[in-house]
């Protein structure tokens, strides 16, 4: 049995997230079906983590084990020829026998896109959150600094996902200014809680709108109370950007 490491890009629009579901289209389910067909055996893949319905990825990582003489390049070409265009294998390589996409991940980077202008966009509307009122990015940047380091992020966690601890280490967090009024929030951490990034972005948007100041943001983080934080930002603006090992 060989172990293969996959790097996957996908448009999450129209999918019920990453995790396989019997009655709904998912990224994992689509990939497993195509790989099983190509390799003529039952394939189960294991991702670095789940993404919710509507969330996208530029660099999701997964692994699977199979007995085959096909080279990794042949597997990549076969999958991309049969897969719907919203899912693409960017890379397929042989990995160490004990490689595990989830348990050996050292960090993940997510990016969230906000279009901050009066009018919405027609092209790319499925890949960003349109906020029509001006946002104070200086305040949002100062709030982001509270996130860096090792903290209990219970204030930004939605219920419904099993976890042993709500403590995570954030290596970096901040805003990238793009052209055409596009703001990009980047956060890199050891791991993430359910809806953690979207809840953080929703709260940072409140700060940028003048609804709270930097000290209040810090108190929300320290308070460990989800009801004090902002609303969950829409899924369509979120991308799993990179996973490091």
Residues belonging to the active site: 52
In 17-136, DSSP assigns E strands to 46-47, 56-66, 87-95, 107-116, 129-131
Cα–Cα distances in angstroms (integers) from residue 12 to residues 2, 22, 74, 167, in the given order? 29, 17, 25, 27
What gap in Å lies between CA 111 and CA 188, rounded to an integer? 9
The b-or-e profile of 143-178 (16+ CB within 10 A means b, else e) is bbebbbeebebbbbbeeeeeeeeeebebeebebeee
Encoded tokens for 219: 């108190």
């Amino acid at each position: 049995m060989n172990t293969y490491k996959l790097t996957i890009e996908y448009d999450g629009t129209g999918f019920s997230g990453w995790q396989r579901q019997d009655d709904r289209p998912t990224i994992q389910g689509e990939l497993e079906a195509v790989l099983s067909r190509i390799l003529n055996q039952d394939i189960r893949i294991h991702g670095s983590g789940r993404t919710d319905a509507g969330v996208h990825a530029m660099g999701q990582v997964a692994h699977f084990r199979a007995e085959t003489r096909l080279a990794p390049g042949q597997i990549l070409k076969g999958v991309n020829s049969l897969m719907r265009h919203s899912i693409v294998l960017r890379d397929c390589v042989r990995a160490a026998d004990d490689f595990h996409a989830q348990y050996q991940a050292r960090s993940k980077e997510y990016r969230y896109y906000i279009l901050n202008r009066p009018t919405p966009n027609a092209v790319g509307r499925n890949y960003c959150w349109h906020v029509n009122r001006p946002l104070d990015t200086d305040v949002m940047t100062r709030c982001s600094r509270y996130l860096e380091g090792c903290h209990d992020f219970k204030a930004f966690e939605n219920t419904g996902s099993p976890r042993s601890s709500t403590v995570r280490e954030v290596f970096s967090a901040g805003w990238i200014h793009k052209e055409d009024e596009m703001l990009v929030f980047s956060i890199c951490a050891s791991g993430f809680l359910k809806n953690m990034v979207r809840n953080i972005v929703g709260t940072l948007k409140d700060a940028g709108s003048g609804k709270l100041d930097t000290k209040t943001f810090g108190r929300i983080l320290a308070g460990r109370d989800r009801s004090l934080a902002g609303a969950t930002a829409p899924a369509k603006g979120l991308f799993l950007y990179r996973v490091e090992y």
